[in-house]
Chains A and B, each alone.
Chain A
Amino acid sequence: MLKDDMKEKEDIHMENTSLWEIIAHSIRKNIRQYTMIFALLEIWLVFSILTGFIFLTPRNLSNLFVQTATTAILAIGMVLIIVTGNIDLSVGSVMGFCGAVAAILMIRAGWSPLPTVLVTLLVGLLIGAWHGFWIAYQKVPAFIVTLASYLAFRGAIIGITGGQTQGLEMAPEAAANSFKAIGQAYLPKINESLPFHDTSLYLMIASVVAYWLFEMKVRRDRQKYGFHVLPMKYQLLKMFVISLVIAAFYGIMIIYLGVPYSVILVMTLALLFTFISGNTVFGRHLYAIGGNAEASRLSGINIARNVRILYMLMGLLTAIAGIVYTARLNAATTSAGQNAELDAIASAVIGGTSLMGGEGTIVGGVIGALVMSSLDNGMSLMNLDITFQYIVKGLILLLAVWVDVKTRRKS
């Protein structure tokens, strides 16, 4: 978001450009992002029709957002991993493992949620550091290192759970309830008598205002440097349109039970990582490494260090996803996180991340995750046989990448 906004503005030398030219320019610049959003809306439309509009109900969409959370969190990290030209096949197993660690700490050790979360995050971080060590410093291909972990941690899950599902009901009740909130609960309501969710409404207003302030700050900074800015009326129009989108997104949840904690978590992480990828030295280095590792090295970039840090971040995100997953399911199971790595990779790729490295956006990855879970959600609503669910998901992935390859070759 941040990065692309900058992009479209710098290019147009406006003053007397018409609105349509500005829009056409923006579409040309961000064709991939627009295609993706368009594809998502199309999938939603198809499912709405096929399910007699059950799909589009606030209740279902709210659930959809919750279901997307773990895949979206993994996709955020996976985008950056793929951007550097690497891969992480272990995130499914490691997510399951971290989720199991959290469950075990609460059930067997009787820990309260806060230390449980902290230790689980530490475990994820260490696993990421382990991957980083082998990939960045020992030069073992990422594919192999993470394939090894894919296998090893699947085994480790069975080891620590004793092959049994670890239900959170076995943990002290107060602790279990507050832990489960991470994956299941909604923001508390202040005034119970209102027909809508008031806290979420305030959060929506806060988000819109924060967005406006951000836009105006960018505008002021640019003016201070004497760069071009959009004419004021178009600036306001743009802010209005984007505010509407933000409002619509919140609106769905406001009408239902409010904003879930897990959605807030995903939004925070997406914003944070968008900022990291677009505005920090570390983020820029990741894109440069993926774009041309040798030129990056000769520009003084420490490739090994950056890659190691990235895998540590991926480990952290995987642990977060594991916590959300266990909290949502109320339990740690031995099959937790199975195929999650493939969903995450598919999300990143559907979201426009290039497997050749150097290209990809966090927002794209999150939208990709939304596409993947929309497919799951929609097909489940249709009661489609699981056989076809897998086949359809596979074909959609193939189609998405094919479209991407085609449009890329043209540009």
Chain B
Amino acid sequence: MEYVLEMQNIVKEFPGVRALDGVTFKVRKGEIHALVGENGAGKSTLMKVLSGVYPYGSYAGKIIVHGEEKKFHHISDSEKSGIAIIYQELTLIKQMTIAENIYLGNENVSQGIINWNETYRKTEKLLKQVGLCLSPATIVGEIGVGAQQLVEIAKALSKNASILILDEPTAALTESESETLLNILRQLKQQGVTCIFISHRLPEVLEIADTITVLRDGKTVVTDIRQNFDENRLICNMVGREITNVYPRVPHHSGEVIMEIRNWTVYDPAGEKKVVDNVSFTVRRGEILGLGGLMGAGRTELAMSIFAAWGKVVSGEIILEGKKITIRSEQDAINYGISYLSEDRKRYGLVLGMDVRENTSLASLRSLSRLGVINKNEEIKQTQYYVNKLKVKTPSLEQEVRNLSGGNQQKVIIGKWLLTKPRVLILDEPTRGIDVGAKYEIYTLMNALIEEGVCVVMISSDLPELLGMSDRILVLHKGRITGELNAHEATQEKVMYYATGGEDIAPKVC
């Protein structure tokens, strides 16, 4: 059978990382081709190369569509070749109607005037094609996420897309919405539309795919037909890498329970979706507790809701050193000695226009001041102490943090939280996007903190890191804890098994 799309030896580098390292990816006409891999395996990068988000010239390798070599400089170039990509975060404008959204930027016009009758007629046809029984005049903000996903697909079809790329389309959907979506994809396949399906949910992948390609660390591990896969083989292919000895693991002795979370349930800020579902766990002195799971599993939401910084907590209690406490604000949490380092350091961590000193002291100004007046000399002394301790590479304390490298920015935020003298330090993806040297320093620091009696909770999507540093691992899937593993029994396969929704039964060994 003919390949409708061939990507050959694609190499894409970012400063410091090779995100794609010679990926070859071939898709046959009219199939549903699943692309799977861990977070950071390179799936999204590969699709951005394909759709022209990363223009021709910024990567190496060849893209052949319908037998012709293509050089996409812009998304519109790939759209002209019939490639449409639907992102995980939907790009619809909520205030507009379905019809307006579908033809946005592609309006049915004659002499600059929109022909609404034509627009509605065409939209109706498209909606029928994706199985949506809604009026084209419905406001998008009023329909559910599942329906919005289908509108996105209709929008892609309106551009005569013959290759449809769906990036985690079911991540935000309920079971039945997912089922509807998969059925629509099957129907589109009947109509000859080729579909590239990126998903973390392995059962779903196995249910719908004709062919599966597994990526790992920017390389193609395998491409094979569905019949030759089962869940175990997929997991083995996804995670089957050597854990190199980059983790400075030292034996910890876990002590008494410092913090306990009981029956913690959280809804999203809109109060519509349960993101953390009846979670209970303990944090002990002298151990690094790892929180594993795939993106969207609810780990960040869990941590931020404990910190009173996200969502609506509908039930649950926090017991800190034997006492039940109520945390009403971030300030409360900090006062109780709970600190949270966010995964998004630019958005939630740093004030980019402020300097190293001001960022480091930001959460501790009260203890550095008297009657509301900051003792600047004390502030300099304290921040200098942490800058030295964490080996932050900065020309001076007066350097704006926007001019520091990612690793040093992260160290500044860690310094900020250490200055608050935390009892429990929650680190959300502490090493994301930083170089190997800085990573190692952060791991060493975590060990030092354990020595000092600080409890460390680490959220990590990087499996080797999770296994390499944690003394105990909790795995979340769809807001629930699906597995708990001790350091000696944890393997990448087991974590991935629980993270993809497996429960109770331990997986077979590869």
Does B associate with A? yes
Listed in ascending order, the chain A residues whose CB lies under 8 Å from chain B are 6-7, 10-11, 221-222, 224-225, 227, 279-282, 284-285, 287-288, 291-292, 294-302, 358-359
Q: Check A298 against B380 for contact (C-beta < 8 Å).
A: no
Given A227-B377, A299-B363, does the pair A292, B334 have CB atoms closer than 8 Å?
no
Q: Cβ of A291: which chain B residues have Cβ within 8 Å of it? A: 351-354
Q: Check A302 against B342 for contact (C-beta < 8 Å).
A: no
**Option from B331, B350, B376 in Cβ contact (under 8 Å) with A295:** B350
Q: Cβ of B397: which chain A residues have Cβ within 8 Å of it? A: 10
Let me know if B381 is at the binding interface, CB within 8 A.
Answer: yes
- Distance in angstroms from B314 CB to nearest chain A CB is 21
Q: Cβ of A280: which chain B residues have Cβ within 8 Å of it? A: 369, 372-374
Let me know if B329 is at the binding interface, CB within 8 A.
Answer: yes
Q: Check B309 against A287 for contact (C-beta < 8 Å).
A: no
Cα–Cα, bound, A284→B416 (Å): 15
Q: Check A284 against B373 for contact (C-beta < 8 Å).
A: no
Cα–Cα, bound, A299→B372 (Å): 17
Q: Check A11 against B374 for contact (C-beta < 8 Å).
A: no
Q: Check A288 against B362 for contact (C-beta < 8 Å).
A: yes
Shortest 6 CB-CB distances between A and B: which pairs?
A291-B351, A300-B331, A299-B363, A300-B334, A292-B351, A281-B365
Given A288-B362, A294-B348, A300-B363, does the pair A358, B353 have CB atoms closer than 8 Å?
yes
Q: Cβ of B372: which chain A residues have Cβ within 8 Å of it? A: 280-282
**Option from A221, A282, A298, A358 in Cβ contact (under 8 Å) with B330:** A298
- Distance in angstroms from B412 CB to nearest chain A CB is 11
Cα–Cα, bound, A139→B223 (Å): 53
Q: Cβ of A294: which chain B residues have Cβ within 8 Å of it? A: 347-348
Given A6-B376, A11-B398, A300-B333, does the pair A295, B347 have CB atoms closer than 8 Å?
yes
- Distance in angstroms from B21 CB to nearest chain A CB is 34
Q: Check B365 against A284 for contact (C-beta < 8 Å).
A: yes
Q: Check B374 against A284 for contact (C-beta < 8 Å).
A: yes
Given A222-B377, A227-B380, A292-B351, does the pair A297, B366 have CB atoms closer than 8 Å?
no
Q: Which of B366-413 contact A (CB under 8 A)?
A: 366, 369, 372-374, 376-378, 380-381, 396-398
Listed in ascending order, the chain B residues whose CB lies under 8 Å from chain A are 307, 309, 329-331, 333-335, 340, 342, 347-354, 358, 362-363, 365-366, 369, 372-374, 376-378, 380-381, 396-398, 416
Cα–Cα, bound, A285→B348 (Å): 15
Q: Cβ of A284: which chain B residues have Cβ within 8 Å of it? A: 358, 362, 365, 374
Q: Check A292 against B350 for contact (C-beta < 8 Å).
A: yes
Q: How many A-B residue pairs have CB under 8 A?
A: 91
Q: Check B398 against A10 for contact (C-beta < 8 Å).
A: yes
A2 (CB) vs chain B CBs: closest residue: B376
Known: A291-B351, A291-B352, A295-B351. 14 other contacts (CB 8 A): A7-B398, A221-B377, A224-B377, A227-B380, A279-B373, A280-B374, A284-B374, A291-B354, A295-B362, A298-B342, A300-B335, A301-B331, A302-B331, A358-B351
Cα–Cα, bound, A292→B365 (Å): 17
Q: Check B380 against A225 for contact (C-beta < 8 Å).
A: yes
Q: Check A298 against B352 for contact (C-beta < 8 Å).
A: no
B350 (CB) vs chain A CBs: closest residue: A295
Q: Cβ of B352: which chain A residues have Cβ within 8 Å of it? A: 291-292
> Dominant SS at the A interface?
helix
Q: Check A288 against B354 for contact (C-beta < 8 Å).
A: yes
Q: Counting chain A CB atoms within 10 Å of each CB, which of B334, B342, B376 scores highest? A: B376
Cα–Cα, bound, A225→B363 (Å): 22
Q: Cβ of A300: which chain B residues have Cβ within 8 Å of it? A: 329-331, 333-335, 363
- Distance in angstroms from B65 CB to nearest chain A CB is 39
- Distance in angstroms from B326 CB to nearest chain A CB is 16
Q: Check A298 against B348 for contact (C-beta < 8 Å).
A: yes
26 interchain pairs (CB within 8 A)?
A10-B398, A11-B396, A222-B377, A225-B381, A227-B377, A280-B372, A280-B374, A281-B365, A281-B369, A281-B374, A284-B374, A285-B365, A288-B351, A291-B354, A292-B350, A292-B351, A296-B351, A297-B330, A298-B309, A298-B330, A298-B340, A299-B334, A300-B331, A301-B362, A302-B329, A302-B331
- Distance in angstroms from A230 CB to nearest chain B CB is 15
Q: Check A279 against B374 for contact (C-beta < 8 Å).
A: yes
Q: Check B365 against A296 for contact (C-beta < 8 Å).
A: no
Cα–Cα, bound, A302→B334 (Å): 12
- Distance in angstroms from B204 CB to nearest chain A CB is 33
Cα–Cα, bound, A6→B355 (Å): 13
Cα–Cα, bound, A294→B363 (Å): 13
- Distance in angstroms from B48 CB to nearest chain A CB is 26
Q: Cβ of A358: which chain B residues have Cβ within 8 Å of it? A: 351, 353-354
Q: Cβ of B366: which chain A residues have Cβ within 8 Å of it? A: 281
Q: Counting chain A CB atoms within 10 Å of each CB, which of B365, B380, B381 scores highest? A: B365
Q: Counting chain B CB atoms within 10 Å of each CB, which of A6, A11, A284 scores highest? A: A284
Cα–Cα, bound, A222→B340 (Å): 33
Cα–Cα, bound, A235→B144 (Å): 67
Q: Cβ of B362: which chain A residues have Cβ within 8 Å of it? A: 284, 288, 295-296, 299, 301
Q: Check B307 against A298 for contact (C-beta < 8 Å).
A: yes
- Distance in angstroms from A204 CB to nearest chain B CB is 28
- Distance in angstroms from A227 CB to nearest chain B CB is 7
Cα–Cα, bound, A287→B358 (Å): 10
Cα–Cα, bound, A191→B366 (Å): 50
Q: Cβ of B330: which chain A residues have Cβ within 8 Å of it? A: 297-301
Cα–Cα, bound, A287→B330 (Å): 19
B357 (CB) vs chain A CBs: closest residue: A10
A227 (CB) vs chain B CBs: closest residue: B380
B368 (CB) vs chain A CBs: closest residue: A281
A356 (CB) vs chain B CBs: closest residue: B353
Cα–Cα, bound, A292→B347 (Å): 7
Cα–Cα, bound, A7→B380 (Å): 12
Q: Cβ of A285: which chain B residues have Cβ within 8 Å of it? A: 365
- Distance in angstroms from B6 CB to nearest chain A CB is 42
Q: Cβ of A221: which chain B residues have Cβ within 8 Å of it? A: 377
- Distance in angstroms from B429 CB to nearest chain A CB is 15
Q: Cβ of A7: which chain B residues have Cβ within 8 Å of it? A: 398
Cα–Cα, bound, A282→B363 (Å): 13
Q: Cβ of A6: which chain B residues have Cβ within 8 Å of it? A: 376
Cα–Cα, bound, A286→B365 (Å): 13
Q: Cβ of A296: which chain B residues have Cβ within 8 Å of it? A: 351, 362
Q: Cβ of B381: which chain A residues have Cβ within 8 Å of it? A: 225
B344 (CB) vs chain A CBs: closest residue: A294
Q: Check B348 against A288 for contact (C-beta < 8 Å).
A: no
Q: Cβ of B377: which chain A residues have Cβ within 8 Å of it? A: 221-222, 224-225, 227
Q: Check B358 against A288 for contact (C-beta < 8 Å).
A: yes
- Distance in angstroms from B376 CB to nearest chain A CB is 6
Given A10-B398, A302-B331, does the pair A297, B309 have CB atoms closer than 8 Å?
yes
Q: Cβ of A224: which chain B residues have Cβ within 8 Å of it? A: 377
